[in-house]
Amino acid sequence: MMRRTGVVPWRANAMNDGFVALYIFMLAAIAGHVIISRVPVILHTPLMSGSNFIHGIVLIGAMVVLGHANTPLEKVLGFVAVLLGAGNAAGGYVVTERMLDMFKSSKPDPHKTKAQD
């Protein structure tokens, strides 16, 4: 007869996975804070607009989650994740365009004609 030890193996693994995920999250948060705090203030906006690819990765992850959803709750959460990820990606490009517009000259170029616009 097999003896029970009192610890269900799948629960122990789930607990360890949770601690590993928490450790990775905290390590990433601290590393991100240290790296970003060393960037000069003038470069924060270009740095953030240059990282729009991260929004695309979030969107792809949300689509994968939605594709593997089985229950209605998972489908709703996956849809909301895709919706928010798409809005985040589109908003990143809108902010980048507005930032680049700040560097355009407000005076018209005398050598440029209307046809060249």
Residue ranges of domains in the chain: 9-38, 41-101
The SS3 assignment for 115 reads helix
Which parts of the chain sit beneath pLDDT 50?
none
d(CA 56, CA 85): 8
Q: What is the pTM of this model?
A: 0.52
- Which DSSP string do the residues of 68-95 spell out, in sequence order? T--SHHHHHHHHHHHHHHHHHHHHHHHH
- Write the pLDDT tens digit of every residue in 38-68: 877 777 666 666 677 777 888 898 899 899 9
d(CA 25, CA 21): 6
